[in-house]
Structures are given as structure tokens and as C-alpha cells.
Amino acid sequence: MALLPILEFPDPRLRTVAKPVVEVTDAHRVLIKDMLETMYDAPGIGLAATQVNVHERILVIDISEDKSEPRVFINPVVDILDPELGEYDEGCLSVPGFYDTVTRPQRIRVTAMNEHGENFKEELSGLMAICLQHEIDHLEGKLFVDYLSPLKRNRIRKKLEKQHRAQA
Ligand code: QAP
Ligand code: CO
């Protein structure tokens, strides 16, 4: 097991569009274990492979209180079931310390593969639906700050760049 370094905004590698997984291998299963460990350590509720600089369509989520419900989504595709939108105060492990309101569809269906390469479909709502859409955005090179005004996004970028300079 290993903790993986998490890329932080505005790292340009976060803008990479991830490639589909053709066959789920043991190497993918090791990556998934490491991603879950990295997410739990943070702690966070969702992590996309993009955030650990692996550009394949893999993400993990666990919205349980006690790390008891790890979920793995490989090549996820979302269908919107209902046009109704909901607001949520989102954060991101790649944008540490910043949270803001994002509006997204509330009821979705996801089609994906699990870590064994088996296909599944599932209807999702609530935090799970929000988190899944947030993580799929990462696989497209998109961040929640992209939904904010340029003024807010630039403020966040400048603060994080300053922190990164201080760390260097
Ligand atoms: C995505 O985000 C998400 O700023 C997952 O200092 C979040 O796990 C989707 C985190 C909210 C929907 C709603 C953020 C940890 C964790 C921080 C996370 C931080 C430490 C974020
Ligand atoms: Co995120």
C-alpha cells in the first residue's frame, strides 16, 4: 500500500483528459487500493486517477462515516434522469482549503465497470450523485473551480500558487 501525491490546482496536469481502461489488470487493482488509501488518509470522500497523475478513467468514492463503503468506478458514463438541479458546497483534494457552491443534476444513472472488470448500472441521488459528477469532471480535465466566476477562480489560484511557492 502507498500514499500517492495529489496534484493541486493550477497544476496543468489536472487538465489532462483521461483514457478509457481497456482491460482491468492487477496493476489497476493496486492503483485502486492506493487511491482508496490516499483518499482515506486525506481524508476525502472522492478521488479521481487524474488527481494522482494517472490519466486513465478510474475513480473511487466513499461517502460513509466510517470508511466502510468504498466504491470503484471504471469508465463511468452518466445519464441525467431528471432535469432538476441541486446546489452543494463542494471541495476538492486538489483545491485544498477552498469550498464553493456548484449546481448539478440531482438524479443520475451511471454505467461503469468495477475493479473486477464487471459492468454495472446504478441510479444515484444526493451526495453520491454530486460526488460522482465531480470525480468524472476530473477525468475530463475539469475542476469545480471552473464553475465559479473568473474572479473567484483567480483568487483561489493566486492563494494556492503562493502556498506552493512557500513550500518549494
Ligand atoms: C469531492 O472532495 C466532493 O479542501 C471530494 O482541505 C466534495 O473529498 C464532491 C478535502 C464535496 C462533492 C462534495 C478538501 C480535504 C476533501 C479540502 C473531497 C481539504 C481537505 C475533498
Ligand atoms: Co476533486
Q: Say if residue 37's pLDDT is above 90.
A: yes
Q: What letter does residue 17 receive in the DSSP assignment?
A: P
Please report the pLDDT score of residue 134 as a whole number. 98
- Name the strand (E) or helix (H) holding 155: helix 150-167
What is the model's pLDDT at position 168?
Answer: 81
Q: How far apart are CA 76 and CA 110, in angstroms?
A: 6
Res 1 pLDDT > 90: no
Distance (Å, whole) CA 73 – CA 34: 15
Report residue 93 as a C-alpha cell: 483534494
Mutate to test the pocket of ligand 1, among 39, 92, 125, 139 (most ligand atoms within 8 A of CB): 92
* Ligand index nearest the alpha carbon of residue 131: 1
Ligand 1 atom nearest the C-alpha of 97 is 4
Looking at ligand 1, which atom is closest to the CA of residue 45? Answer: 8
CA-closest candidate to residue 133, choices 93, 104, 164: 104
| Burial annotation 105-142 (CB, 10 A radius, 16+ → b, else e) | bbbbebebbebeeeeeeeebeeebbbbbbbbbbbbebb
Average pLDDT over residues 136-154: 98
Distance 25 CA to ligand 2 centre (A): 25
Query: What percent of the chain stands above pLDDT 70?
Result: 100
Output the CA 158–ligand 1 centroid distance in Å.
19
CB neighbours of residue 18 within 10 Å: 20
Which ligand sits nearest to residue 50's alpha carbon?
A: 2
